[in-house]
Chains A and B, each alone.
Chain A
Amino acid sequence: MTAAIDVKGLRKSFGPRKVVDGLSLAVQEGEICGFLGGNGSGKTTTIRLLCGLLTPDSGSGTCLGFDIIKQSEEIRLQIGYMTQRFSFYVDLTVEENLNFVAQLYQIPDREAAVKDIMVRMELDNRAAQLAGELSGGWKQRLALAAAVLHKPKLLLLDEPTAGVDARARRAFWDLISDMALDGMTVLVSTHYMDEAERCHRVVYLAGGKIVVQGPAVDVVENAHLVVFEASGAGIGKLVHQAREAKGIESATVIGQALRVVGTDRAVVEAAIAELKAPGVTWHDVPARLDDVFIHLLGTEEATP
């Protein structure tokens, strides 16, 4: 297997702020790599460095075998980049926007390719609608359609499903999985845990550095989190008490259950022994990916 992305020691600062701080990343061909991290952790900036939209202050590497600094023109030809902010012409229709993109990539059978992608993204009914008049989710679909139109070898998606409904999100991911099977590499940033779980591997960024990476199950396992859930009528009263308790990192009510997370089993068990209310019972439950990320976000704040 060869690496579609292989970068080392990337750094980028805006003024005094180090936004990407010595980031090294390797993504294999055909891999779907999830890019996670809190707001402002440097996801968008890293993606821009990868496709040559920003020049790194230091560091080097390749995308699809091309040098990210010297050969960004070659890279541009073979990647699809979906920006976080909608970046199509609002005064052009869906079809006109796609045609424009298809022409820039000099796609051989342009009309068929545009038609095909519109059908796949269910955009065909809206072909003649102005892009500016699409609802948020439909705009995202147009953007994804444009990003994959030329069948890129590497797809960089920056929060592609923000604001997209559940069914369309599923369709997005089915499409992405299909294309990955055909050998396309995908780097996708997201804040959704279910999407992170669909990735072959997740990379968690904090302060411009990779903090944790690996398959979602491994990430959960290696975090060694202790999670308990309480159910019963009295949980509402226990939340605030739980948040104050020593050894409990987070306590939150999810539906009918109160979920507490900590790292040291003995301490957490001691803490929940104090959290008693009539009709409330505690169960030991497995940690989930979002527990891990909230845990990681918490440790970020603790270490400035």
Chain B
Amino acid sequence: MSGFSVTRFLAMLHKEWIQMRRDKGTVGMTIMLPLVQLFLFGYAINTNPRHLPTAILSGGHSQYERDIVTALANTSYFDLREYNSEYEVDRALARGDIMFALHIPPNFERAVDRGDSPQILMEADATDPTAIAAAASALQVIVPTALTRDLPPNLHQSVVSAAPAFTVALHSRYNPEQITAFNIVPGLIGTILSFSTMIATTLAITREREAGTMENLLAMPIKPLEVMLGKIVPYIALGYIQVGLILVAAVFVFHVPVLGSIPLLLLCLGLFVGCNLAMGFTFSSLARTQMAAQQMSTFALLPSMLLSGFLFPFAGMPVWAQYVGAALPLTHIIRICRGTLLKGNGLADIWPDIWPMALFAMVVGLIAVRSYRQTLD
């Protein structure tokens, strides 16, 4: 009996091989998934995002202003759109509709012509410091050249000499010191939650099926919705404990500012947990084995991580990937977390991120209940 037996080893190998071959679905997924993911993320992820939405608050539509706008657009980092009031710009920045806001002071043209070297202000949403880094440096590059073509000859001199025609002040909003943790930690809240809650429910039904308890459960008078809620609610409670711990750590260890309402955030997180649990439950009903269910949830979690704006800037993704991202609850909860904690956003600001999650929870919840088979067929 002692020592390594090749025969016994081969017997085990052979048995595993047979079992693997029988489970075609799982093997197929194991082979196909990496390929799908490779292409998905390979094309979607861009750490140097361009075409960032930028607001212009005009100081009086001068030629110089148009020059600056053209120069900015030419860098390809900024997609500019005119806004009419400070207030609108502020809201748009809070919601994340824009990442930059260019304020051109009134009488800008005259000040330039006088050689006063006036200052224009570029506000940046610094909740995601990496997303804006490249754009911010591109901004400084345009300063010396933007107006060259239209400046009166007497001022040309001053461009090359010490005083430039104008200067740009970059003002980082929300996260002035551009601390990366302020970006990562609120994002982590959603990410960690989606892992823990989804994996828990993914096994909920498959476990019953594999243990044989499903047959008995199905023969008893219990409705699909009762099964689903009964299985989900404990994990919502568990999810809240996790949220509490993460928030406490975020505030006291990582010193993430809390500018918004915590109860509102908790409510949104509850909705988010519901989304994930419904999704996990659906996988659980659809999958025949625990293995298959786990693969399905991995298939959902990875895009969530990569396309939600958690690790890579959302604005940097191609449009199709942004649509995929917008369908994922994680995308919205990350915006809500960053928004309420760092920007002090209220219900009105985060509403555009709440209803997609509510819709998701409803649709997927319905699918979950529907996919729960009441027979053994």
Binding site for B on A (CB under 8 A): 48, 51-55, 72-73, 76-77, 79, 81, 83, 85-90, 101, 104-105, 146
Contact = CB atoms under 8 A, between A and B. Distances in A.
A280 to B, nearest CB: 49
B139 to A, nearest CB: 61
B376 interface: yes
B208 to A, nearest CB: 9
Interface range on chain B: under 10, 10 to 19, 20 to 34, or 35 or more?
Answer: 10 to 19
A266 B253 CA distance: 97
Nearest to A74: B221
Chain A interface, DSSP helix/strand/loop, else mixed: loop
Nearest to B223: A73
A88 B213 contact: yes
B219 A55 contact: no
A73 B221 contact: yes
A76 B220 contact: yes
9 contacts: A48-B376, A54-B377, A55-B377, A76-B221, A86-B212, A87-B217, A88-B213, A89-B213, A105-B221
Interface of B: 211-222, 374-377
Contacts, number: 49
A52 B216 contact: no
A76 B375 CA distance: 12
Contacts of B211: 87, 89-90
Nearest to B214: A87
Contacts of A73: 221
Contact of B222 (A83, A89, A104, A146): A104
Contact of A101 (B220, B375, B376, B377): B220
B221 A51 contact: no
Contacts of B217: 87
Contact of B376 (A53, A79, A146): A53
A53 B219 CA distance: 7
Nearest to A81: B219
Contacts of A81: 216, 219
B221 A83 contact: no
Contacts of A101: 220
B215 A85 contact: yes
Most buried by A among B215, B219, B374: B219
A149 B73 CA distance: 76
B375 A55 contact: yes
B375 A51 contact: no
A296 B36 CA distance: 57
Most B-side CB within 10 Å, residue of A53, A54, A77, A79: A53
A90 to B, nearest CB: 7
B216 A88 contact: yes
Contacts of A88: 213, 216
A104 B213 contact: no
A89 B212 CA distance: 9
